[in-house]
Chains A and B, each alone.
Chain A
Amino acid sequence: QKEVEQDPGPLSVPEGAIVSLNCTYSNSAFQYFMWYRQYSRKGPELLMYTYSSGNKEDGRFTAQVDKSSKYISLFIRDSQPSDSATYLCAIPSRDAGNMLTFGGGTRLMVKP
């Protein structure tokens, strides 16, 4: 079983839709959970991160962690064409000096 798994998509939605992006992970010791966004022909950039369980909101973005299910989600409200990108979940491992394990990324397309 991979440590972090993510549906590759692509996910195509109309502008204004609510988007749900998800990852599952296998190591129950993970505590921090991160979301990176990668635009075409660019490197990934950190979008937001959460600690342990619960929700964290930042503008139109909400990150949610369910540690009991080992499931993390990123919700995008009122999606815009500029949100079209690949979204990668990443989890640092304290046992490895906080090296990041990435999911494969979900490609999102928001159509005007």
Chain B
Amino acid sequence: ETGVTQTPRHLVMGMTNKKSLKCEQHLGHNAMYWYKQSAKKPLELMFVYSLEERVENNSVPSRFSPECPNSSHLFLHLHTLQPEDSALYLCASSQVYEASGMSSYEQYFGPGTRLTVT
């Protein structure tokens, strides 16, 4: 596997279900991101993990719960979602420079998980 992979690619879930999205990066990066992409809206940054610590939450509802067990893996746990949560969920990774805490400009994205909440 190369780059950033995401599973599953498609997910349909009911409002009472619990599911998890998985992301894995094979680039040796030390920062990972979850984004939400809805139709006709800009990419919304949901969570950032830099050097395995969460550094950004962006007021995401608690029905979304991220987990980053190591620098290569990222999960998004979903429970009691709403229909408006239906969207493409994208994972990305980048390299953060430890001395400055600044990320390189380029982020590498996975193909996304298309989530439909019924």
Measuring CB to CB, which residues of chain A are less than 8 angstroms from any residue of chain B? Answer: 2, 4, 6, 8, 32, 34, 41-46, 49, 88, 92, 94, 97-105
Contacts and interface: CB of A to CB of B under 8 A. Distances in A.
A97 B110 contact: no
Contact of B102 (A4, A88, A98): A98
Given A97-B96, A101-B42, A103-B42, 14 more contacts: A8-B40, A41-B111, A42-B111, A43-B90, A43-B110, A43-B112, A44-B109, A46-B107, A49-B106, A92-B103, A97-B101, A97-B102, A98-B102, A99-B48
Contacts of B40: 8, 104
Interface of B: 4, 40-43, 45, 48, 50, 55-56, 90, 92, 96, 101-112
Contacts of B48: 99
Contacts of B56: 99
A98 B101 CA distance: 9
Contact of A97 (B43, B50, B92, B108): B50
A48 to B, nearest CB: 11
A41 B88 CA distance: 9
Nearest to A98: B103
Contacts of A49: 105-106
16 contacts: A2-B42, A32-B105, A44-B43, A44-B90, A45-B108, A45-B109, A88-B43, A97-B50, A97-B55, A97-B102, A97-B103, A98-B104, A98-B105, A99-B48, A103-B42, A104-B42
